[in-house]
Structure 1
Amino acid sequence: MKVLENRLDRFESMAYGPIGKAVRQAMPHTEGDPIGVLASTYAMLSSAFAGQVLLPGGTRPALAWTVLVGRSSTGGKGRAYRAASRIVDGAIGSYLGARTKTSIKNAPTLVRVFTQAIQESKSTEAGEDSRVFMLCTEWGSTLKFLNRDAQFSEHLRNAWDGSPISNTIKGKKAAEAEEEWIDHPLLGFHGHIQPGIWPSSIRQVNALGGDYNRMLPVAVEEWQELDELSGLNTDPDSLIKSSSELETAYEWVRKGAAKEMQYSDAAGREFIAARKAHKRIASEMSEQITCYFERAPENIARIACLLTATERKTTISVGAVRAARAFVEYSRDTVIELAQMPSLVARSNQPKSLEQKIRDAIGRNGSLTRTQLFSAMGNRHPQGEIEAAVENMPDIRRTEVRNGRPGPNPVLFDFAPQEPSEEERPEPAVKVVRQRVAKQAAAAAPAKKTAARKTAAKKTTAARKAAGAARAEPARKTAAKKTTAKKTTAKKTTAKQATAASTTGQGDVFN
Structure 2
Amino acid sequence: MSSNAPVISNAAFSGLFGRITNALDTYTEGSKVGVLVSLMSGFSAYAGHGPTVETGKGDSPLALWTVLVGPSGRGRKGTATSLAMRVLSQAFNTFHDDAVIYGLPATGLGYITELSDRAEGGTATPVQFIEEEGDSFIANARRDTKVGVYLRKSWDAQTIAHKTKQDDLRVRRPHVGVIMHCQPRNWAAISGTKDATGGTYNRFLPVWVQQSKTLPVFEASNASEVIRAAARELRNAADYARQVDSVIVPRHVAETFEAKHRPIIEAMISSEEMSQYAERAMAYMIRLAALYALSERRDEVSEADFDAALALVSYSIETIAYILPQADTSEEASMTIKVEAFIREAENTGRTATEIYRAFNIKASDLHGIVAELDTITVVKGESVKGRGGRPSVRYIYTGEPAETFEDEDIAEGDIVEDTDDGCEETNVAEETPTLLAPLTVAANEETNPKTLEDQVFSPVTVCPLILSEDEWEAFDAETVTASPASAKATPVTVNPDLPRGVEALRAMLDGTATTPKPVEIPATVEPAPAMPVGVDALRALLSQATPTTATVAKTTPPAAAVSAVPLVLFQAPTSEGVAA
Q: State the match for 1:88 in structure 2.
A: 88
The residue type paired with residue 236 of structure 2 is T
Alpha-carbon distance in structure 1 between the residues aligned to 2:53 and 2:69: 27
Whether the 8 Å contact between 1:270 and 1:321 is mirrored in structure 2 is no
Supply the AA of the counterpart residue of 1:40: S
Aligned-pair CA distance for 1:105: 1.7
Query: Shift of the alpha carbon at 1:5?
Result: 4.8
Identity of aligned residues (%): 25
Match of 2:33 in 1: 35
Answering whether residue 4 of structure 2 is matched by residue 19 of structure 1, we say no
Paired residue for 1:297, among 282, 289, 300? 282
Deviation of 1:93 after TM superposition, in Å, equals 3.0
**Structure 2: how far apart are the matches of 1:114 and 1:85?**
21
Task: Tell me the equivalent position of 2:509.
Answer: none
Aligned equivalents of 1:118 and 1:339: distance in 2? Answer: 38
Structure 1 residues 206 and 48: CA distance shift in structure 2, 3 A: same
User: What is aligned with 2:142?
Assistant: 147
CA distance in 2 between counterparts of 1:3 and 1:161 reads 37
Indicate whether 1:249 and 2:237 are aligned: yes
108, 125, 129: which one pairs with 1:130? 125
Are the counterparts in 2 of residues 55 and 301 from structure 1 also a CA contact under 8 Å? yes
Q: Does 1:79 align with 2:74?
A: no
Structure having the higher helix fraction is 1
CA distance in 1: counterparts of 2:218 and 2:116, whole angstroms:
49
Deviation per CA, 1:420-441: give whole Å up to 9, x if none: xxxxxxxxxxxxxxxxxxxxxx
Q: In the alignment, does 2:52 pair up with 1:67?
A: no
Alignment length (residue pairs): 322
**Is 1:262 aligned with 2:240?**
no
Query: Match of 2:179?
Result: 190
Output aligned runs, 1:181-260, within 5 Å.
Answer: 181-227=170-216, 229-231=218-220, 240-243=227-230, 244-255=232-243, 258-260=244-246
| SS state at 1:162 partner | coil
Partner residue in 1 for 2:266: 279
CA distance in structure 1 between the partners assigned to 2:123 and 2:274 by the alignment: 40
Alpha-carbon contact 1:3-1:333 (below 8 Å) kept: no
What's the offset of the Cα at 1:189? Answer: 0.9
Q: Is the Cα contact below 8 Å between 1:144 and 1:201 reproduced in 2? A: no
For the residue of structure 2 that corresponds to 1:74, the secondary structure is: coil
Please list every run of 5 or more consecutive structure 2 residues that lacks an aligned counterpart in the other structure: 328-581
* 1:110 aligned partner: 111
Q: C-alpha offsets along residues 64-110 of structure 1, whole Å, 9 cap, x if unaligned?
A: 11100011111110110011112333322321221122341211111
Q: What is the CA distance between 1:3 and its match in structure 2? A: 7.9
Secondary structure at the aligned position of 1:66 is classed as: strand
Q: Deviations over 1:426-470 (max 9, x none)?
A: xxxxxxxxxxxxxxxxxxxxxxxxxxxxxxxxxxxxxxxxxxxxx
Supply the AA of the counterpart residue of 1:60.
S
Q: In the aligned structure 2, how far is the partner of 1:334 from the partner of 1:204?
A: 19
Partners of 1:11 and 1:91 in 2: CA distance: 27
Q: Which amino acid aligns with 1:259?
A: D
RMSD of aligned Cα (Å): 2.4
Using structure 1 for the length normalisation, give the TM-score.
0.59
How many Å separate the matches in 1 of 2:252 and 2:110?
A: 44
Measured after TM superposition, the shift of residue 228 of structure 1 is: 6.5
Using the TM superposition, give the Cα deviation of residue 202 of structure 1 relative to its aligned residue in structure 2, in angstroms. 4.8
* 2:211 partner letter: E
Which blocks of at least 5 consecutive residues in structure 1 are unaligned?
A: 172-177, 343-511
Summarize the Cα distance change of 1:83–1:4 in structure 2 as closer, same or farther, 3 Å threshold. farther
CA contact 1:3–1:219 (8 Å) conserved in 2: no
Q: Output the amino acid matched with 1:64.
A: L
Counterpart Cα distance in 1 of 2:66 and 2:256: 23
Aligned partners of 1:335, 1:5: CA distance in 2, in Å?
Answer: 11
Question: TM-score w.r.t. structure 2 length?
Answer: 0.52
Structure 1, residues 255-276: CA drift from partner, whole Å, max 9, x if none? Answer: 4xx4211112342133223222
1:88 partner SS: helix
Shift of 1:341: 7.1
8 Å CA contact 1:47, 1:63 repeated in 2: yes
CA contact (8 A) 2:70 2:209 kept: yes
Paired residue type of 1:116: D
Cα contact 1:53–1:306 (8 A) shared by 2: no
